[in-house]
């Protein structure tokens, strides 16, 4: 999943959106409804459907996106207040240097991971389709590397036609999924879908963590879009209303497809094959993923260019390096660790949002006139983020199935724990250091 984040620079003045540039509610809402139908969302839904009952898959999706919507709403309102994207807003809580390094690092690593995942999906789809067409069993890593390299070349050198490919690919993928759902349900019956019990389950809490991981980055960087909102109300309705329902619906499509093709194990390429759609499914998956992965590579490269203070001028080198790392991850089998990747994102990114929320809402009293980027590195912001992320990992079951499993101490919901800890710790450290205080009550309502 691409963040579409504008990490071009940390010059707040150049990123500020004036009142004359603000947009209405519907244009912002449509962006998120349109972005909901994508391969990443289907994959995550399929992962839930393969390991949970349909009812638990639905609960995991609803609760997971409920958590995202909760912290996303506060980030959205702040961005509408100050007219800035997440990267610039973070400088108040993390400091100019802290914001530049932390935001760039977190965004960059997440996008490299997504690039690897998407390239691996395309490689797997190509391999399955070739086996069905020709009987040739091509190792997945070969098409993953080739397709990943082509996507990277598009990101570095540009290919204007790729956006037109996406206009055709997404509707095609939607039609394929709807066809698969209708035919499959007609064949097995709705009772079989509702009564499905997985052989090996993951548990509802793990499913919630996975759901959060899907859009954790998007929730944190929502300010890149909601800075264009005319009011707090518009920013919340457009983001929450556009993100939550649409993503839950698409995830449930993926979950049902995984249930009707249980032998797929939640692998979207095997689902397509199981429905007898391996070839056309391959075309739709690769084409619909191409644009997203071009954006993933470009945005990751831009994030690291900002981190080393090269700005947009140095993005090509960092994009190439980011893409190569993503390709290596795809070839090494990152898809085998897809749920771990999502759980890791669900631990790290909400904690970062928690520090930003605490700074603006509890320290600066949610008043835009109090917003001021801090020089250097902010100790409260960096410490609260790191500790909050660690707590989320430890309590969220992040290390299950890894050599670090001894670090797991499950408690409640990892992402929620991380947000709460980072918010409380930020306020405590800020006040203990006797940093500047801001008078007045929290501005709860602002038109």
CB-CB contact of 379 with 97 (8 Å): no
Has residue 224 got a pLDDT over 60? Answer: yes
Q: Residue ranges per domain, the chain?
A: 23-432
> What would the pLDDT profile of 87-109 be if each residue is shown by its tens digit?
889 999 999 999 889 988 999 99
Map residue 1 onto helix, strand or coil: coil
Virtual CA dihedral for 162, 105, 346, 327, nearest 10 degrees?
Answer: 50
Q: What is the mean pLDDT of residues 20-37?
A: 88
Q: How far is CA 148 from CA 124, 296, 309, 358, in A?
A: 12, 11, 27, 39
Virtual CA dihedral for 313, 317, 319, 321, nearest 10 degrees?
Answer: -160
What is residue 2's predicted lDDT score, i.e. its pLDDT?
A: 43
Distance of CA 218 to the CA centre of its chain: 5
Write down the pTM of the prediction: 0.90
The pLDDT-based confidence of 163 (bands split at 50, 70, 90) is low
> What would the pLDDT profile of 278-317 be if each residue is shown by its tens digit?
999 999 999 889 888 988 998 898 888 878 877 556 778 9
> What would the pLDDT profile of 236-256 be if each residue is shown by its tens digit?
999 999 999 999 999 999 999
CB-CB contact of 17 with 319 (8 Å): no
- Give the separation between CA 215 and CA 176, rounded to whole angstroms: 24
Which is the CATH superfamily of the domain at 23-432? Hydantoin permease (1.10.4160.10)
Tell me the two tokens of residue 364.
Answer: 């600066």
- Give the separation between CA 343 and CA 331, rounded to whole angstroms: 21
Q: How crowded is the C-beta side of 336, counted as CA atoms within 13 Å?
A: 9
Has residue 7 got a pLDDT over 60? Answer: no
Q: Which helix (H) or strand (E) holds 71?
A: helix 54-82
Tell me the two tokens of residue 367.
Answer: 């008043």
What is residue 6's predicted lDDT score, i.e. its pLDDT?
A: 44
The pLDDT-based confidence of 13 (bands split at 50, 70, 90) is low
% of the chain with per-residue pLDDT over 90: 67
- Give the separation between CA 150 and CA 331, rounded to whole angstroms: 14
Has residue 5 got a pLDDT over 50? Answer: no
Task: Give the dihedral sign, CA 254/330/161/222.
Answer: positive
Distance of CA 42 to the CA centre of its chain: 13
What is residue 161's predicted lDDT score, i.e. its pLDDT?
A: 61
CB-CB contact of 268 with 39 (8 Å): yes
Q: Please name the residue that has the structure tokens 């899907």.
A: 214
| Average pLDDT for the chain | 90
What is residue 220's predicted lDDT score, i.e. its pLDDT?
A: 92
- Give the separation between CA 9 and CA 2, rounded to whole angstroms: 18
Has residue 379 got a pLDDT over 70? Answer: yes
Partner residues linked to 23 by β-bridges:
229
> What would the pLDDT profile of 29-87 be if each residue is shown by its tens digit?
988 988 888 999 999 999 999 999 999 999 999 999 999 999 999 999 999 999 998 88
Has residue 328 got a pLDDT over 90? Answer: yes
């Amino acid at each position: 999943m691409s963040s579409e984040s504008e990490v071009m620079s940390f010059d707040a003045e150049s990123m500020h959106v004036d009142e004359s540039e603000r947009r209405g509610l519907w244009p912002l809402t449509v962006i998120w409804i349109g972005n909901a139908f994508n391969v990443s969302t289907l994959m995550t839904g399929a992962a839930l459907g393969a390991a949970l009952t349909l009812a638990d898959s639905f609960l995991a999706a609803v609760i997971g996106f409920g958590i995202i919507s909760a912290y996303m709403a506060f980030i959205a309102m702040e961005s509408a207040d100050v007219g800035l994207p997440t990267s610039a807003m973070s400088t108040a809580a993390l400091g100019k240097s802290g914001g530049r390094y932390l935001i760039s690092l977190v965004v960059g690593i997440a996008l490299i991971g997504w690039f690897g995942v998407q390239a691996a999906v395309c490689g797997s789809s190509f391999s399955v389709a070739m086996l069905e067409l020709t009987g040739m069993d091509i190792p997945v890593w070969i098409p993953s590397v080739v397709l990943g390299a082509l996507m990277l070349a598009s990101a570095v050198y540009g290919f204007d036609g790729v956006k037109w490919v996406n206009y055709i690919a997404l509707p095609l993928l939607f039609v394929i999924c709807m066809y698969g759902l209708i035919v499959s349900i007609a064949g097995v019956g709705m009772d079989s879908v509702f009564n499905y019990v997985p052989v090996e389950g993951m548990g509802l809490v793990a499913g919630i963590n996975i759901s959060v991981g899907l859009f954790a980055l998007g929730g944190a960087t929502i300010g890149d879009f909601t800075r264009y909102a005319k009011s707090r109300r518009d920013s919340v309705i457009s983001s929450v209303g556009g993100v939550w329902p649409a993503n839950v619906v698409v995830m449930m499509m993926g979950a049902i497809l995984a249930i009707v093709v249980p032998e797929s194990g939640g692998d979207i390429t095997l689902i397509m094959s199981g429905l007898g759609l391996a070839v056309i499914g391959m075309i739709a998956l690769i084409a619909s993923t191409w644009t997203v992965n071009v954006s993933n590579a470009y945005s990751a490269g831009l994030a690291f260019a900002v981190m080393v203070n090269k700005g947009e001028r140095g993005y090509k080198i960092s994009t190439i390096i980011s893409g190569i790392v993503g390709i290596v991850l795809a070839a090494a089998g990152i898809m085998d660790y897809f749920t771990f990747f999502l759980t890791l994102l669900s631990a790290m990114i909400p904690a970062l949002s928690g520090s930003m929320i605490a700074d603006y809402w509890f320290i600066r009293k949610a008043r835009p006139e109090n917003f001021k980027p801090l020089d250097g590195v902010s100790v409260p912001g960096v410490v609260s983020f790191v500790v909050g992320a660690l707590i989320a990992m430890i309590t969220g079951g992040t290390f299950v199935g890894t050599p670090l499993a001894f670090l797991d101490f499950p408690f409640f919901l990892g992402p929620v724990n991380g947000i709460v800890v980072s918010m409380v710790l930020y306020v405590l450290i800020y006040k203990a250091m006797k940093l500047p205080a801001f008078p007045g009550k929290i501005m709860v309502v602002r038109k």
